[in-house]
Amino acid sequence: MSNAGRSSRESRHFGREAAIQLLYQREVGELAGSSVDEAESSYWIERPVAENRRRFAHILLQGTLDTLDRIDPLIEAAADNWRISRMAVIDRIVLRVAVYELLLDEVPVAVVIDEAVELAKTFGDDQSPRFVNGVLDAIKRKLELT
């Protein structure tokens, strides 16, 4: 793979990490209840990065929040016996971002799922990767039928 391809993939990975951290901070952290702009301003002051990473993180963050009314029912339908509110916060956030990307249909499904599993390994507990993979696989199958 060329350095440009690797750089783009790494930027997207770090953008996903940032989106997940921002969503987590908005949900349970010191930025709980803050606006997207407030959350991002505070986050990027502490973690300065290239503009393309910031832009991708913003797209994921804003898009995920704007699409929750479509994302959450997909997750609940795919997660047997799990309500969104009862899921571990990080699992719920990783799933939401991944489902948003699946709905965008700009990145191959396998890449979205692999990235989500990696993020679940990084931020979740020992059960998170398996849970995230199972739920996303079920959502993938459902989306393929529509």
> Could you tell me which of 91, 99, 77 has the C-alpha nearest to residue 128?
91
| Fold designation for 67-146 | N-utilizing Substance Protein B Homolog; Chain A (1.10.940)
Residues 41-80 as b/e (b if ≥16 CB within 10 A, e otherwise) read: ebbbeeeeeeeebbebbbbbbebbeebeeebbebbeebbe
Q: What is the pLDDT of residue 130?
A: 97
Q: What is the pLDDT of residue 59?
A: 92
> Could you tell me which of 27, 1, 142, 146 has the C-alpha nearest to residue 78?
142
The SS3 of residue 49 is coil
Q: What is the pLDDT of residue 31?
A: 57
- Assign 30 a pLDDT band (cuts: 50, 70, 90): low
Mean pLDDT of the chain: 86
Share of the chain above pLDDT 70, in %: 88
Domain boundaries, the chain: 1-61, 67-146
Rounded Cα gap, residues 13 and 80, in angstroms? 28
**Least confident piece of the model among 15-29, 34-48, 121-135:** 34-48
The predicted-structure confidence for 87-143, as pLDDT tens digits, reads as follows 999 999 999 999 999 999 899 999 999 999 999 999 999 999 999 999 999 999 998
Rounded Cα gap, residues 85 and 99, in angstroms? 17
Phi, psi of 49 (to 5 degrees): -140, 175
Straight-line distance from the first to the last Cα atom of the chain, in angstroms, rounded to the nearest whole number? 34
Residue with the bigger pLDDT between 72 and 25: it is 72
Report whether pLDDT(7) > 70.
no
